[in-house]
Structure 1
Amino acid sequence: MKKKIVISTLIMLSFLVMTVIGISPSIAAEKEFLIGSVGCMSGPAAMLGKNLRIGVEFAVEEINKTGGINGMNVRAIFRDDEADPTKALTLVRELVEKEKIHAFIGPTNTTCAIAIQPYLVAKKIIQLNGGTTGTVLIDPKGFPYSFRTHINDKDQAIFLVKEAIANGFKRIAVVHDTSALGMGVQKDMKDVLDSHDMTAATFATYNANDIDMLPVARKLKSADPDIILMFTLMADGARLLKAMERLDFLPPKVAIQGYAATALPIFRELAGNASKGVWSLAPYNSTYSKTDPGLPEVVALAKKIEAAYPGDKGKDLNLFTIFSYYDCAQLVRVGVARSKSLEADQIKAALESLDSYEGAQANYSFSSTDHEGLDPSKLVTVDANQLKHGMYLRVEK
């Protein structure tokens, strides 16, 4: 009987101590913090999942070297959804219900994100999105536990037009597909042009996966633009550039700038020499210039990744995306450490109170009404063909 009283007293005291220091009983009972990640890790888009895995693994290694999260060791569990929304949801269910993950990072495709987010909301799982760009994915009311470190489609479109105008281009041509995404981009870009009393030289459209891009290239050339803004998927954009090469209408004869997909190694591989001189965009922190080697701590991380994946092992890596997922894991750490809780609502509140977190890809701030970590002001124009330790060269016009 006395033994039971002593044990009960000790338990009560331990709960009292945890309350005094602000650590919830749930977090004190856990010895391991589990992060679940689902993404495309096989097939044509396997490099997306590879970038996710590398970013998360580097962050987890660093977190554990510095004591974990509130004393808990961190472990990441990865699953391959093959870019299949149905499979993505099945895998996320397994991670939540069987593995008992505490947070989720991913996925790598917008269609998969649309499939899994309602489930994550229902289960109250914090989600950090480091690569999918669909604007509808971040909504503090509809998806209260989802935060993003990657720039979304709408903000990329806005940046491209504002950057072109700021750099004195007068005849701005835009090319995009006829999907809902493409037509949404057209509206976003037109709104920016209208606000500057400008009209596009042309909006050239095509159907996604069109093989013959020569008619589109001819339409662009006939519009006589001084810059072409590309909002195209990788394979489509590569075919378009090759068609423009046939018309002898590439940089430096005309400036061309694309959204984030044009910075990916697979895009440059598909387009070949036609991608030379084509600009892209990236967050400032993941870039360097001819006079500025980049932020020291970011360069150090870039060199570590480069050393771990030398030569052909790293040819399909995209540092911009790796940094984004690295920051996802670090933000999970910050949210849990600040909240001293494993409860999603507490972690959410901690992340929403961040007014400045210096990440590898960018510096982030969130609020109760804004779960987007990036906006157009944090982007710069880059030449993705000129890399140093995987970082992009800033174009200084």
Structure 2
Amino acid sequence: MDFGFGAEDEELRGRARAWLAEHLVGPYEEAIGLGGPGSEHEGVETRRAWERELGRGGWIGQGWAEQGYGNRPLSLTGQVVWAEEYAAARAPARVGHIGENLLAPTLIAYGSPEQKDRFLPAIARGEELWCQGYSEPGAGSDLAGLRTAAVRDRADGLLRVTGQKIWTSLAQDADWCFVLARTEAGSQRHRGLSFLLVRMDQPGKVDVRPIRQMSGTAEFNEVFLDGAVASEVVGGEGNGWAVAMGLLALERGVSTLVQQIGFAAELERVVRAYAASGAPDPVLRERLVRQWAELRTMRWNALRTLGAEGGPGAPSVAKLLWGGWHRRLGELAVAVRGAVATAGPGLWAHGAPYERGLDEEQRLFLFTRADTIYGGSDEIQRNIIAERVLGLPKEPR
């Protein structure tokens, strides 16, 4: 396929670049670069206000316009252009991306007209934030093993959800959570699950507890549900697995290309550190060149996938590629620094908290250890490719 962009796309690129330059001022300029992977706790209130600014500018929900929702209509390549310019400007990391990129397309595909009318405009305005309630202790990559249950209350007919979710990004700031729960008593594995929409503001019924990581920060959370009311069921009771899998297929679309812009900036920083070291190492140089080549290949693969040539295993292939690549970059970041990377200036100075003493390369190394685990481990991705794409026998249980 043609990996280039047309004249219309380039005209949009200029408009997007100009809009970002005009609006990334004041408190938003101070938030440039904040909130990326491993730093999602940074500047949340400013980034939430920025989300509403994006909504007023018409930059949220660009792919929904033909369904009658969202803001300005953009082609797929147009959405890529906007995403690339956004990342290149180092605009604040989005706090609304889960609602825009995961829930909204799922509602468009599976939701009722009433659900679309209720939730999509609020997401497009940047007013309501979402988090994802999938993983549980003992049911992370093996999502079908979840135990969170929803039972219909005989008194008022409402579904009440009880259970625990874990590794929930943005839960402490979200207004809503889409929750996969078991609504059929005694059901097992993929059967009897439902895709529920749950308000987070339910005192005594929804409890969010941050998970402190080895980097010292807390991007992820545990969410405890104790009779929380589920306001909506998407796709009908018992059809949750189909809806959940449809959502996961959307998770690695245009956002993959955005992610790669950030990867390129990180790689450039590591290359500059290597050049400044004054001690050329042919092995490290070869590893850096390989990282650059692999990043270019990932970009082409992502564009090919968006062009509907990727096939059913494309999301799993993409996850395997970038997860391993980013973890290797973290290893390179500390290898280039040498022995000093094991401590670094100021790491333990003046009794400062651990996380305040870490520099960017050390944070990168620590955070990327999780890249091949979260969002579906490498083992799970390989199983999906083997069983669903190649038709190989299922792994014995």
TM-score (norm 2): 0.30
Bigger Rg, structure 1 or 2 = 1
TM-score (norm 1): 0.30
